[in-house]
Structure 1
C-alpha cells in the first residue's frame, strides 16, 4: 500500500518555480519537466495542476502581475503632489516596480506573450487598470495615461538598452508631464 504525500502548497510552489524559471531562462527555456524538478514534485503533478503549459504560464504571469500591481498601488497609497509625487514615482520606477533584472525580464516575457495571445493581454490589461487607478488618485485620467506610457517606455529602455535612463531623466520627464 502506498502512502499519499500530503503537500497542500504544491500548486503554489509550482507557480513560484515557474516564475523563477521564466525569469532565468525565459518562456522558451521553461518546461513542465524543469518546473517539476525545481519545485521537487513528480512530473505527474504538473499535469494534474496544469494540464497544459499555457495554463502554467497564465498562472505564473497572473501572480507576477498581481505582485507588481500591488507594489505599485502601495507605493502611491499616500498623499502626494508636485515634487513629492515626482519623487514617489521615480522611486517606484527605479527602486520598486522595476527593481531588478528579474522584474524587467518577466515584464518583457509577459509582453511578448500578450502580443500574440488574448489570455496574456487580459493579464496585462488588469495590470494597466491597477496602475491607472493608483495614478488617478493623484492626477486626471489623461495625465495618468501619459505617466503610465512613460513608465512602460522606461521599463523597455531599462530592459533592452545598454544605458538605462537615469533617475534624473525620469524625474525631468515626469515634471514635464505633470507640469511640476
Structure 2
C-alpha cells in the first residue's frame, strides 16, 4: 500500500464539494467537546478528517470558523423548530407545547443546547457574530408570532432563550409545570 493510498480516507482531493460543510459541522463538534476556547484549526481538521490546510483555506481565522459554526447551528435549530411548529395541531395548547419543547432541549438534547448557547454567547465578545445571533433571534420571534402575534412572539422568543439557559444551569432544574406556567402567563397574561 502506498503512502497516498493509506491516506485515501483523509485526502479527498479538489473534487470534494462537501469538504466545507464537513469542516463547519466539525467546528460545532469541537465546540461541543472542548468549548469555544478549544476551537482550533488543528482540532477541526482532525474532527473533519481533512488536512489542516483545508480548514485554513476555507476559514482563514478562528472567527471564520466560529461564524460558520454559529450559522450552521442556527440553521439546524431554526429548521427543527419550524418542523416542530408545523407539526403542532392548529388548536394545540401552545404554552404546554413550549414547555415540552424546553424540557426536550434541557434533557434529551442537552449537549446540543449547550453548544448552541456557547456559539450564541460568543457574539457578545465578537461583534462579527452578532448578525448571525440576531438572525436566530428574529427567526424565533417570527416562528412564535405565527401562533400568537408579533409582540407576544418576541416575548416568547426571549422567554424561551432565557429559560433554556437558566434551566440548563439550574440545579435542580425547573419542573415542566413551572416552565409551562411561565409560558402561559406570557401568552395569556395574569389569571383574573
Number of the residue aligned with 1:135: 144
Query: Where does structure 2 lack aligned partners over 5 or more consecutive residues?
Result: 5-10
User: What SS class does the counterpart of residue 125 from structure 2 fall into?
Assistant: coil
Number of the residue aligned with 1:24: 33
1:146 aligns with 2:176: no
Number of the residue aligned with 1:113: 122
User: What SS class does the counterpart of residue 164 from structure 1 fall into?
Assistant: coil
Query: Where does structure 1 lack aligned partners over 5 or more consecutive residues?
Result: none
RMSD over equivalenced CA pairs, Å: 2.3
Shift of 1:96: 5.1
- How far apart are the structure 1 equivalents of 2:18 and 2:95? 40
1:7 aligns with 2:16: yes
- How far apart are the structure 2 equivalents of 1:127 and 1:98? 22
Number of the residue aligned with 1:87: 96
Query: 8 Å contact 2:70–2:120 — kept in the other structure?
Result: no
Number of the residue aligned with 1:172: 181
Shift of 1:80: 3.7
Number of the residue aligned with 1:59: 68
Q: Return the TM-score normalized by structure 2.
A: 0.83
Query: 8 Å contact 1:90–1:171 — kept in the other structure?
Result: yes
Q: How many residues align?
A: 178
Shift of 1:97: 8.6
Number of the residue aligned with 1:47: 56
- How far apart are the structure 2 equivalents of 1:97 and 1:73? 19
